[in-house]
Structure 1
Amino acid sequence: MENSVRKLHSEQTTSFDTEYIDQKMFEILVKQLDMLYPTRQSFHLLDIGGGNGVYADKILSHYTNSRVTLVEPEETLLEKNRGHPNKELKCSLFQDLELVIPYDIIQFNWVLHHFISDSYEATKNIQQQALIKAFNHLSSDGLVVIFENFYEGILVRNLPSKLIYHTTASKALAPITSKLGANTAGVGVCFNSRETWHDMLLEAGFKVIVHIPFYSFGNLSQVKTRLLHLKDQNVGLLIAKKE
């Protein structure tokens, strides 16, 4: 039996109507893509959870020979996309999406931590299956690109992942966690450490994995940080190549 995927309510997605990849980050990404894939040739990018399409438009503007298929389950975000002859929009969860052609690049921009189910174990399985699905539907030498917030534990590397999941996924605690600032309250969120994502990519079949660190952030109080066993919060980029 497949694990069901929890979906955020429309009002919980309003904070995602923004673009987190600034010009400097985009330039670093482009440099990596050009080194790892023959981007001078035409290529097809699958943008999972592409939201308002600002990132897809950046790709289409920079790589004029590219095509982008943008997948987004929230219609209010999908409707904000600008039209482009090389951009196709699909309203769907990644788990429900039937992939019939291989893609050259499959991208998850701060999306994987929103792949949530009714237990922590089922959630980790959904995340792992998403990476396996991406691997299986990449062209030869294709890339999976992941922007993520990495949550690093003090002694146990991925303990914050489990603690944050159980705190935010609880429907009983939702009124409290919502007031504390968790916009995923009652649905859940599952961040992982960088090493955990690295291991999951290896498990999915990838061999070459590049990590680009960007910056540290700390949006939690000292009390919350200690309760969640948090050592560091970092934004970074993972690129894995199929060989």
Structure 2
Amino acid sequence: MKMRGLMLVCLAIAGLTVLSPLALAQSSTGSNSSSAAVPPATPQPALTYTKPTPTIKFHAYLFDAFGPYPIVGAAIAAGINQADNAPPEWQQGAEGYGKRFGSNFGILAISTSTRYALAAAFHEDTLYYRCECKGFFPRLSHALISTFAARRGEDGHYVFSFPDLVAPYAGTMAGVYAWYPDRYDARDAFRLGNYSLIGYAAENVGLEFIYQGPHSWLSRMHMNNTHSAPDSAQSH
């Protein structure tokens, strides 16, 4: 997969999370903390934190792994791969597109499954919690840092997340060694995993800034991203 195509995929996946008016994102519930002049070094803790139930976690997993976003993301990625003829061994036509779609969807599903399984082992919360801060740069910092951080314990304190770091590479490594052409190796898996990590960061930025409340068009279409914590438990 070429770099141009992979970057377009990351932007496309991010776009799926941000198709809603940006202005609405500025009115968040419970935003009582003051604005920060400098982006924080760690994600801001919530004033109130409610640990998600096993049911919420399971629904979030199903949505993240098999919901509309990974399906559409895999379809877009397959189209870009088809245009780039990558990998060329899969050739063109419907059969080639099907292989590319299945590959992208499989990588996403394996990455998500790895993340949720490891998070359960490490007792980490997989949901994304929006920042209680105000201002573009503090919120952007929170979203990007959350790519490598998760909440743990009854109080929901933030910790460095090993599952978040490893999961993108688990999916690409599985793809390279399970169904990619033989010429692909660990270096390619690492390269592809880097782009998957960029995609996760882009998704967090979308979840941070885009309103997905009950009156958004995403909600009316039943396409709210359940990877984001409910408003009542969000961290800003």
TM-score, normalization: structure 2? 0.29
TM-score, normalization: structure 1? 0.29
More RCO (CA 8 Å, sep 6+):
2
